[in-house]
Amino acid sequence: MTQEDQLLSHPAIKDGWFREISDAHFPGQAFALKVEKILHHSRSEFQDILVFKSTTFGNVLVLDGIIQCTERDEFAYQEMIAHVSLYSHERPKRVLVIGGGDGGVLREVVKHHSVESVTLVEIDKTVIELSKKYLPSMSVSLNHPKVKVELCDGFKFLKDASYLESKEKYDVIITDSSDPEGPAEAFFEQSYFKLLYNALNENGIVIAQASESIWLNINYLKSLIKTAKTVFLNTQYCSTLVPSYTSGQLGLIICSKRNDLDVTKPCRKPLPEEQSSMRYYNPSIHSASFVLPTWANSLLNKD
C-alpha cells in the first residue's frame, strides 16, 4: 500500500467497516460492508464520492454516504430498471437515461436491437470518470456508438428540450437518480413528472427508482405514487432484490402515457441473444416484480 493509499479515509469507514447510517433514509437500522481498501474519496462540485474495494461485494460506489452500486449485485438493479420499461414498449427506438453515470443502465439499454439512440444526462462528470476507472464492467457502454452523453442537470435538460418536435421525443425515459436529496431532489416532484410526460412520444414509458422499499418508508412510496398519478394515470409499482441496498429491496415506479397498456406483462420477449446476456431479468420475473404482499398492496393500490 502506497503512502497515498494510507492517507485515504472517509468518516463512514471505521475499524475496517463501511457503515451506511441515515436517520433520514433508514431510521432505526443500518448496513455495513467490510472494507479491503479505499480506492478514492473526494468532494465533487455536487456531492461526496467514495469508492472502495469490499471483501465480498467487489468495488463499491458511494454518493453522499449512500451505496449506489456494488460489483456483486448491481445487475439486479440495472437490468430491472432498464428491461421492465423497455420490454413494456413494442419497439423502443429513442431512449433517455437521466442519472446513471456509472453506465450500468446504458449497458442494458444497448442490448435491445430496436434501440437506435440513447442519451445519457449526468450532472457529475466525476462519477463517469471514476466509473470508467473502478467499475469497468458497468461503464463498458459509455463509449458505445449509439450513446450520447450530456453533462448537465436532468431537470434542466428536460426543461430546455420542452420545445422538441414529436419526432424528436423519446420512447422510454429511465430516471436512474440518486436519493431525493442534493442534486436529485427535483426528480421526485410533480413538476418533474410533467416534464417527463412532455418529453415522451405518444406511446412513451418512464421508469424511475423510487428511493424506498415497502419495508423502509411505505408512506413515502404512497405519496410518490400519488404524485406520479397526477400526471400519469397509468402508474405502477414494482421492485427488485438488491442485497447491498438497505432492506435488500428497491422499489421502481413505471408510468405509461397509454392508459390501456398493462406494464405488468412484457409486450415482447427477449431475443435469445438478449436473454443470454441477462443475469436477473426474464419475462416471468417482470410480472412477478409487481406482486405485493397483502398489507403493502392495500396501502399502495387501494384508495
Contacts (Cβ under 8 Å, ≥6 apart) of 81 = 105, 174, 176, 207, 209, 240, 252
Measure the CA–CA gap between 137 and 121, rounded to whole angstroms. Answer: 20
- Which grid coordinates are listed for 180? 431525493
| CB within 8 Å of 14: residues ≥ 6 apart | none
Give CA 86 to chain center in angstroms: 14
List, edge to edge, every strand of the sheet that includes 17-21.
Answer: 13-14, 17-21, 30-43, 48-54, 59-63, 66-70
Any idea what DSSP says for residue 269? Answer: P
What string of DSSP letters covers 80-135? HHHHHHHTTSSS--EEEEEE-TTSHHHHHHTT-TT--EEEEEES-HHHHHHHHHH-
Instruction: Quote the CA–CA distance of 84 and 108 in Å, as a whole number.
Output: 11
Could you tell me if 77 and 104 are in contact, meaning their C-beta atoms sit under 8 angstroms apart? yes
Which of 64, 73, 176, 179 does the annotation list as catalytic?
Answer: 176
Q: How many CB atoms lie within 10 A of CB 260?
A: 6
d(CA 137, CA 29): 31
Whether 176 sits among the annotated catalytic residues: the reply is: yes
Give the active site residues.
176
